[in-house]
């Protein structure tokens, strides 16, 4: 029998890990995360816990020692402290050293980094995309080299030295001196379009606020823009409240929406910040000069229409939102100008053009705003003339942006079809200059090291490392400096080019002077890089361990030896609606490729990381144009746009994209099985508890990969303070899933037998889980045991056939298998986990709690159980779940959500902030008889004097009212009458069971006191079950 690892037992401390992971998502972020933005970065504490818990046998360590010495959970920010192997734990060091670990979807490297810190002897990090591979080398390979090779001891100093050398070159650059004012740190700009009505140019401004900074419930910095008509143009003025009214702050209630109230003795001055005059999503715009609505244009005739709703359908299909049309015209003319096909004068007459609005200046620690002048605008045109002179320069990124997915690059529909169009000419010139300086640094370092006697290979690798870090600082600069970033007035900073999930149009973009001391400058990017690198070299131990970063496809592993087997595979595989990494990280790729390559004969040529940026075609190395063209179709995610070009219509593309996603995900599990030792563990993160997401994962891992699940744990990264504040929970949490190879024994299970086995297993396992966990953690933990039962079978036979294949799940079931797995999730996994957990909570009592209504009601409450303090706060408030979570409870309890709404057990609402559906549990929040009466009448629709009960929840709420209002004798008489109703005895008996569970476990819930009174009147002994938590604090004391 295989040795159980700690992560496969209830002793795995998922709750404590989650609490520490929350701080990593907030103020306790690892410094190296600030090196450059990446879309998903798993908290280091979860990576460490998963790796260590998967290596250490359950019987080889005390769980509390695991928490204190390996995970360092006794520390406020555990990721700042390395594991300690001392005393009885010293023997584990050898165990880790002899372990090999593979991460096939390594991303930004949390998992392999923590493997290094734990002393894992061999670590392989695989990534499909060149951009991610470059970042991984910077996170893993180079810091390890810096702490283990004496020749690399000055790596951080050299990165800083040459980064500052670039600053000096930028300071002395004549072009930049000419194009940027020395006293200006940031320029805030937007687009202006020629109004189709009055023919004047009007700025399109998405937010007029310049500063609305709040500190300690006071607004400490307040300023906004105001448009002013002057002659035939619209100028922008700055209204600086602090400066003009000589006030240091305003109380928070003095600013409401766009209104500012300034006290002046007994009088007040009320100012109004203008409303935005562009709403691109709703296709609404207004001219600031003539105040007319800007609508739509027929590009064939040039005719303008204020609205399109009243146009004939044939014409509605032709017209385009005028600002969108104008921007497309600008981008077409821009390319013609740069390539010499039109003049600057003609370009200036374009129906849209960039416009500088405001300058942000620094005076010591103070920040001032000033309106932009015509001279400032002219500097943009000068930059454009300089850009034209280098149009054929290979460092100008003319590669195409992917054309098929406007939800990724929302800018494509505005005519921004090539990467250089995402930047204004001044930004482009600056970035190109930095590319050339980084390239020069690489040559300088290599020459310097050769003079010191290093071998050519040593000098080359060291130069590669330094220039790689500088190229990443360039990516950070690009991330903050484009025409798709945003000025964030609330934080007084630049919101990045990827503030939304994708790259979108901005109507308040920022152009930062590269050598200022604010965000968006080379100086700040360099500082973030140095802090990142200092952290990495301080936490990676100086051991002669092996770490390799491989560019490879996880579905086939071309670059991993076919006979190489790993003790442990830990990874975060892609999920269906994952970020389209290939397309989005092209935003970095096009700059990394230039900074880390050479130029020969006017073309990019291989230098550093040539295998990442070039492909050999015969005897010639040819640059990879973009990742979307070369890698996107090999990336496992659901993206119909990638296949629309050869599949056809959108519906066919969706079907093909989903099939392709499943195929790639399934192939990756097959590949992982082939490279995992027979006694090894595979551990995957997964970002959903949604049943369809589970179906996809289970199909790939179980049906295709031949694995079985041995444990699941939720890693909740939402803070308990946030949950308490909102009174809302979500079951859609990150999960850790533990897999082992399944021996193909053709074990067949009949649905009903498997279900019963799963319920019994869940019930017996729930006791062990409940000693350590509560709420969602307990439910997911028990579900892991159910999955272990279900996935131990090779086939599960259902009682009836729905088609020729969906009646069973077979290992080679490629046609109907996905539907069959869906049935297993919906008809076995969720219901059996719920049934087993509730059966355990009912315990040794004689009550039977089995109706769908009862299960649903208790599961809803169960979600809000966490640690005792948080549970008390949550259970005393209105309890809300989102639509995804309510679907899971519906499946688990076997009842339709709509039925629960009709029965008024839950209330369907629309969330105020998002307008999305959310569901409120209809349970009493008071023990006062008068309020309970109102609750029955108004919320539940039950007449307290002549109640009609149709289920056990009706019975429970009526009994609670009776118990609060009447003495025992009267209570008993009223209960007798209830029992005369159809179904009354069974409803009341089950209500007693529900009351027993609430009484025993739901401390702080008003229903607990009511349940105790019910049970007391009915002669049932019950008291709150003592929680058996054993926390790290208890252990240390």
DSSP code string of 462-490? HHHHHHHHHHHHHHHHHHHSBSS-EEETT
Give the CA angle between residues 431, 434, 437 to the nearest 5°: 155
First to last CA, the chain: 37
Task: Give pLDDT tens digits for 22-66.
Answer: 888 778 899 999 999 998 888 999 999 999 999 999 999 999 999
For 833, other C-beta atoms within 10 Å of its C-beta total 29
Residue 739, classed as helix, strand or coil, is: strand
List Cβ neighbours of 455 (8 Å cut-off, separation of 6 or more): none
Q: Is the pLDDT of residue 895 over 50?
A: yes
Give the CA angle between residues 1016, 1020, 1025 to the nearest 5°: 95
Task: Judge contact between 178 and 436, C-beta under 8 A.
Answer: no
pLDDT band at 407 (very low <50, low <70, confident <90, very high): low
Residue 229, classed as helix, strand or coil, is: strand
pLDDT band at 1032 (very low <50, low <70, confident <90, very high): very low
Q: Is the pLDDT of residue 733 over 70?
A: no
User: Measured between alpha carbons, how far is 652 from 648 in angstroms, rounded to an integer?
Assistant: 6
Task: Give pLDDT tens digits for 930-953.
Answer: 999 999 999 999 999 999 999 999
Whole-number pLDDT of residue 864: 75
Handedness of CA 744, 747, 748, 749 (dihedral sign): negative
Q: Strands 880-882 and 728-729: what pairing?
A: parallel
Task: Judge contact between 221 and 240, C-beta under 8 A.
Answer: no
Q: Strands 566-571 and 100-103: what pairing?
A: parallel
Provide the β-strand partners of residue 371.
Answer: 358
Q: Angle between the 586-595 and 425-451 helix axes, to the nearest 10 degrees? A: 40
Task: Give pLDDT tens digits for 948-988.
Answer: 999 999 999 999 999 999 999 999 999 999 999 999 999 99
Task: Judge contact between 357 and 372, C-beta under 8 A.
Answer: yes
Mean pLDDT in residue range 744-749: 81
Task: Judge contact between 478 and 148, C-beta under 8 A.
Answer: no
Mean pLDDT in residue range 231-249: 96
User: Measured between alpha carbons, how far is 819 from 804 in angstroms, rounded to an integer?
Assistant: 12
Reference 645, options 654, 635, 637, 653; nearest CA is 653
> Of the ranges 660-669, 719-728, 782-791, 849-858, which one carries the lowest mean pLDDT score?
719-728
In order, the DSSP letters of 615-626 are EEETTEEEE---
Backbone angles phi, psi at 747, to 5 degrees: -75, 120
CA distances 384 to 354, 372, 378, 424, 610, Å, are 11, 18, 10, 8, 32
pLDDT band at 874 (very low <50, low <70, confident <90, very high): low
Burial 861-889 (b: 16+ CB within 10 A, else e): bbbbbbbeebbbbbbebebbbbebbbbbb
User: Measured between alpha carbons, how far is 377 from 356 in angstroms, rounded to an integer?
Assistant: 6
For 396, other C-beta atoms within 10 Å of its C-beta total 20
Reference 502, options 409, 422, 627; nearest CA is 409
Mean pLDDT in residue range 383-399: 97
Q: Is the pLDDT of residue 237 over 80?
A: yes
pLDDT band at 493 (very low <50, low <70, confident <90, very high): confident
User: Measured between alpha carbons, how far is 66 from 60 in angstroms, rounded to an integer?
Assistant: 10
Burial 155-184 (b: 16+ CB within 10 A, else e): bbebbbebbeebbebbeebeebeebbbeeb
Q: Where are the alpha helices (DSSP H) in 126-154?
A: 130-136, 142-148
Q: Angle between the 1006-1017 and 968-979 helix axes, to the nearest 10 degrees? A: 90
User: Measured between alpha carbons, how far is 526 from 517 in angstroms, rounded to an integer?
Assistant: 11
| Higher per-residue pLDDT: 810 or 871 | 871
Task: Give pLDDT tens digits for 802-849.
Answer: 433 333 334 344 433 788 898 899 999 999 999 999 999 888 667 889
Residue 69, classed as helix, strand or coil, is: helix
What percentage of the chain carries pLDDT values higher than 90?
73
Question: Whole-prediction pTM value?
Answer: 0.89
How many contiguous H segments (helices) and E segments (strands) does the chain have? 39, 37
The number of residues in the chain equals 1037
CA distances 775 to 146, 505, 829, 1012, Å, are 45, 42, 17, 21
For 231, other C-beta atoms within 10 Å of its C-beta total 6
| Higher per-residue pLDDT: 309 or 646 | 309
Task: Judge contact between 60 and 82, C-beta under 8 A.
Answer: no
Reference 470, options 360, 595, 555; nearest CA is 595
List Cβ neighbours of 232 (8 Å cut-off, separation of 6 or more): 200
Task: Judge contact between 988 and 979, C-beta under 8 A.
Answer: yes
Eight-state DSSP code of residue 265: T
Task: Judge contact between 494 and 485, C-beta under 8 A.
Answer: yes
Question: What percent helix, strand, coil does the chain show, rounded to 5?
Answer: 45, 20, 35
Whole-number pLDDT of residue 805: 33
CA distances 593 to 37, 193, 286, 433, Å, are 18, 35, 42, 15
List Cβ neighbours of 454 (8 Å cut-off, separation of 6 or more): 151, 462
List Cβ neighbours of 499 (8 Å cut-off, separation of 6 or more): 485, 486
Reference 351, options 310, 311, 323; nearest CA is 323
User: Measured between alpha carbons, how far is 75 from 20 in angstroms, rounded to an integer?
Assistant: 9
């Amino acid at each position: 029998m295989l040795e159980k690892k700690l992560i496969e037992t209830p002793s795995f401390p998922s709750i404590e890990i989650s609490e520490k992971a929350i701080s990593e998502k907030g103020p306790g972020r690892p410094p190296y995360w600030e090196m450059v933005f990446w879309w998903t970065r798993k908290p280091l504490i979860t990576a460490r816990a998963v790796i260590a818990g998967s290596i250490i046998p359950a019987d080889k360590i005390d769980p509390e020692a695991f928490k204190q010495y390996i995970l360092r959970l006794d520390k406020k920010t555990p990721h700042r402290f390395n594991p300690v192997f001392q005393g009885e734990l010293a023997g584990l060091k050898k165990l880790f050293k002899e372990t090999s670990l593979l991460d096939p979807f390594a991303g930004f490297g949390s998992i392999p980094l923590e493997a290094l810190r734990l002393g894992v002897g061999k670590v392989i990090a695989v990534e499909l995309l060149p951009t991610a591979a470059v970042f991984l080398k910077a996170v893993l390979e180079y810091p390890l080299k810096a702490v283990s090779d004496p020749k690399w001891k000055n790596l951080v100093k050299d990165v800083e030295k040459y980064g500052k050398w670039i600053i000096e070159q930028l300071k002395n650059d004549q072009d930049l001196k000419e194009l940027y004012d020395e006293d200006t740190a940031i320029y805030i700009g937007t687009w202006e379009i020629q109004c189709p009505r009055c023919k004047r140019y009007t700025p399109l401004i998405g937010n007029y606020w310049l500063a609305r900074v709040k500190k300690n419930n006071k607004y400490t910095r307040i300023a906004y823009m105001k448009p002013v008509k002057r002659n035939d143009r619209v100028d922008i003025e700055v209204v600086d409240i602090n400066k003009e009214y000589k006030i240091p702050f305003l109380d928070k209630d003095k600013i409401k929406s766009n209104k500012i109230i300034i006290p002046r003795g007994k009088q007040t001055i009320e100012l109004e910040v203008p409303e935005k005059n562009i709403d691109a999503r709703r296709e609404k715009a207004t001219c600031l000069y003539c105040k007319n609505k800007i609508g739509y244009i027929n590009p064939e005739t040039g005719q303008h229409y204020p609205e399109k709703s009243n146009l004939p359908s044939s014409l509605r299909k032709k017209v385009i939102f005028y600002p969108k049309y104008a921007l497309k015209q600008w981008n077409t003319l821009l390319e013609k100008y740069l390539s010499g096909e039109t003049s600057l004068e003609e370009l200036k007459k374009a129906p849209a053009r960039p416009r500088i609005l405001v300058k942000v200046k620094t005076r010591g620690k103070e920040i001032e705003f000033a309106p932009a002048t015509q001279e400032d605008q002219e500097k943009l045109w000068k930059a454009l003339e300089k850009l034209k002179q280098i149009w054929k320069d290979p460092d100008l990124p003319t590669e195409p942006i992917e054309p098929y997915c406007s939800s990724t690059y929302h800018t494509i529909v505005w005519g921004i079809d090539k990467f250089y169009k995402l930047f204004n000419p001044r930004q482009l010139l600056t970035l190109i200059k930095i590319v050339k300086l980084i390239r020069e640094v690489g040559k300088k370092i290599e020459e310097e090291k050769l003079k010191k006697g290093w071998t050519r290979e040593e000098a080359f690798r060291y130069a590669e490392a330094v220039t790689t870090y500088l190229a990443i600082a360039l990516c950070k600069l690009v991330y903050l400096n484009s025409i798709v970033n945003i000025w964030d007035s609330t934080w007084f900073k630049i919101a990045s080019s990827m503030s939304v999930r994708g790259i979108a149009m901005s109507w308040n973009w920022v152009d930062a002077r590269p050598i200022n001391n604010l965000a968006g400058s080379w100086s700040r990017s360099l500082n973030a890089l140095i802090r990142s690198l200092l952290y990495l070299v301080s936490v990676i131990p100086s051991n002669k361990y092996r770490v390799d970063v491989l560019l490879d496809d996880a579905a086939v592993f071309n670059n991993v030896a076919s006979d190489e087997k790993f003790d442990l595979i830990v990874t975060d595989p892609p999920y269906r609606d994952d970020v389209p990494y290939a397309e989005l990280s092209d935003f970095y790729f096009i700059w990394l490729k230039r900074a880390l390559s050479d130029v020969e004969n006017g073309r990019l040529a291989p230098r550093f990381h040539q295998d990442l940026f070039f492909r050999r075609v015969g005897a010639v190395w040819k640059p990879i144009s973009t990742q979307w063209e070369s890698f996107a179709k090999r990336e496992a995610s659901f993206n119909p746009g990638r296949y629309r070009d050869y599949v056809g219509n959108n519906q066919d593309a969706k079907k093909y994209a989903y099939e392709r996603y499943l195929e790639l995900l399934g192939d990756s599990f097959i590949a992982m099985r082939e490279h995992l030792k027979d006694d090894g563990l595979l551990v995957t993160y997964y970002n959903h508890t949604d049943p369809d997401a589970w179906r996809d994962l289970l199909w790939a891992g179980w049906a295709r990969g031949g694995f079985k699940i041995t444990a699941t744990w939720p890693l909740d990264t939402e803070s308990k303070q946030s949950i308490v504040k909102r009174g809302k929970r979500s079951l859609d949490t990150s999960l850790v899933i533990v897999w082992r190879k399944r021996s193909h024994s053709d074990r067949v299970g009949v649905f009903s037998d498997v279900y019963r086995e799963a319920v019994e297993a869940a019930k017996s396992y729930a006791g062990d889980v409940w000693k350590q966990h509560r709420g969602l953690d307990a439910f997911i933990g028990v579900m892991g045991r159910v999955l272990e039962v279900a996935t131990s079978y090779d086939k599960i036979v259902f009682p009836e056939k729905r088609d020729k294949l969906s009646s069973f799940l077979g290992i080679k079931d490629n046609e109907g298998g996905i539907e069959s797995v869906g049935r297993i999730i919906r008809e076995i996994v969720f219901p059996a986990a719920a049934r087993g957990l509730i059966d355990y909570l009912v315990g040794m009592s004689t009550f039977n709690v089995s109706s769908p209504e009862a299960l649903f009601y208790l599961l809803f409450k169960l979600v809000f159980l966490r640690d005792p303090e948080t549970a008390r706060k949550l259970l005393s408030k209105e309890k809300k779940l989102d639509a995804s979570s309510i679907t899971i409870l519906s499946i688990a309890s076997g009842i339709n959500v709509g039925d629960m709404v009709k029965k008024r057990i839950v209330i369907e609402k629309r969330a105020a902030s998002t307008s999305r559906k959310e569901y409120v549990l209809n349970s009493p929040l008071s023990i006062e008889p008068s309020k309970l009466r109102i609750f029955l009448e108004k919320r539940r629709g039950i007449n307290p004097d002549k109640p009609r009960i149709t289920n056990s929840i009706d019975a429970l709420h009526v009994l609670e009212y009776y118990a609060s209002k009447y003495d025992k004798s009267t209570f008993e008489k009223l209960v007798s009458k209830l029992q005369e109703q159809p179904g009354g005895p069974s409803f009341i008996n089950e209500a007693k069971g529900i009351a027993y569970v609430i009484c025993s476990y739901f401390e702080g819930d008003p229903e607990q006191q009511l349940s105790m009174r019910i049970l007391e009147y009915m002669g049932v002994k019950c008291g709150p079950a003592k929680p058996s938590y054993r926390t790290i604090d208890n252990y240390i004391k």
